[in-house]
Amino acid sequence: MDGNVFGGNMDFTIRAATLEDCKDISRMILELAEYEKVSDQVKITQRDLEQDGFSKNPFFHGIIAEVPEQHRSKDGHAKVGYSLYFYTYSSWKGRAVYMEDLYVMPEYRGKGIGKALMSKVAQLGLAAGCTQLNFAVLDWNKASLDFYLSQGCFDVTADMGYHCMRCEGEKLINLAQGDA
């Protein structure tokens, strides 16, 4: 899965995430949540990531974008981007991959890192027999929407009328107990 990518004058590597990356993934999840103005909603800890991503039956997989020593961030980070993904199933189309997060630290954007991360998730999905890549993007995030559209993606809500639904917390417990 290792692969060096050279974009402009910035070289970086995309590789499979390991247990040792969970500290940096946790840091970047918080950075992403701050960017999306929902940092109060992050409940996941580094320990949760270690258990959920690196147990016998992982709930997610991850990839990391890493830069060499000389390109470390101002805070000394070499791990500058990540994507978390997992496999799902479409009753119409079969195997699918869901990209939960795609994040690149602000100072590293525009260098092809996000595109390389997304491309790697697509490659992994195809290798696993998936026919589609699914993900969500906030409606106000025009830069990301434009990026995804430029990669050949389409807006399922706009084009097909689907809405992403969720049940959580007490309502989820009620639903599970048949009290909904």
Separation of alpha carbons 14 and 66, rounded Å:
6
| Residue 49: closest CA among 29, 76, 32 | 29
What tens digit of pLDDT does each residue of 55-68 get?
A: 999 999 999 999 99
Task: Report if residue 58 sits inside a domain.
Answer: yes
Task: Report if residue 177 sits inside a domain.
Answer: no
Neighbours of 68 (CB within 10 A): 12
Q: Is the pLDDT of residue 161 over 70?
A: yes
Separation of alpha carbons 26 and 29, rounded Å:
5
16-30, 44-58, 164-178: which range is least confident on average? Answer: 164-178
Task: Report if residue 50 sits inside a domain.
Answer: yes
Active site residue 108: no
Q: Is the pLDDT of residue 2 over 70?
A: no
pLDDT of residue 1: 52
Residue count (the chain)? 180
Separation of alpha carbons 52 and 59, rounded Å:
5
Task: Report if residue 162 sits inside a domain.
Answer: no
- Whether 80 and 68 have beta carbons less than 8 Å apart is answered as no
Domain count, the chain: 1
CA atoms within 13 A on the CB side of 23: 3
Separation of alpha carbons 96 and 98, rounded Å:
7
- Whether 53 and 44 have beta carbons less than 8 Å apart is answered as no
Report in angstroms the alpha-carbon separations of 47 from 22, 25, 60: 8, 11, 14
Task: Report if residue 13 sits inside a domain.
Answer: yes
Give the range of the structural domain holding residue 119, as residue numbers without chain letter.
Answer: 3-135
Candidates 82, 98, 108, 148; catalytic one: 148
What CATH number is attached to the domain comprising 32?
A: 3.40.630.30
Task: Report if residue 111 sits inside a domain.
Answer: yes
**Phi, psi (rounded to 5 degrees) for 175:** -60, -45
Helix, strand, coil % over all residues of the chain, rounded to 5: 40, 25, 35
> Chain-wide mean pLDDT for the chain?
92
What tens digit of pLDDT does each residue of 108-160 get?
A: 999 999 999 999 999 999 999 999 999 999 999 999 999 999 999 999 999 99
- Strand pairing report for 132-134 and 10-16: unpaired
| Residue 100: closest CA among 159, 50, 25 | 25
